[in-house]
Amino acid sequence: MRASTAVSALLAAVLATTLALGAQAGSETPARSQVEKTFLIPSSEGYGVADCLTTPGSACGQTVADSWCEAQGFAAAGSFGVAAPEEYTGSVDLPVSKPSERPLRITCRD
C-alpha cells in the first residue's frame, strides 16, 4: 500500500511540474522594442564638432555622437553624418545651397 502511495505522489509531482513548465513557456514576455530618435544639428552649431561628425567611421565622430546621445538620455549613437535633404526639408527656413551648410544628423538608440 505504501508503494502505491509513493508512486501516486511521484506521478502527481511530475504532473504538477509539467503543467508549471508549460504555463511558463506560454507566458514569455515579448522583447523590448528598440527605440531610436534622430536629432538634426545645424552645421554651424558652434561646438566645433562638424568635422568629426561628417567623417564616416571616424573615432572622434563616434565619441561625439555617443556623448550627444547620452546627454539626451539614450544609450549610444547608431549612426551620424550629414543629413540627407529628405531628412530636413520643410524644417529649415532657408534653402540650403551648399552641402557644407546641411544640418548634421545623429541617430540615437537605447
Q: What is the pLDDT of residues 70-100, one digit of tens each?
A: 999 999 999 999 888 788 776 555 665 566 6
pTM of the model: 0.60
Cβ–Cβ under 8 Å, residues 80 and 89: no
8 to each of 19, 27, 94, how far by Cα in Å?
Answer: 16, 29, 82
Q: What is the pLDDT of residues 13-29, one digit of tens each?
A: 444 444 444 445 555 55
Residue with cell 508512486: 7
Residue with cell 554651424: 44
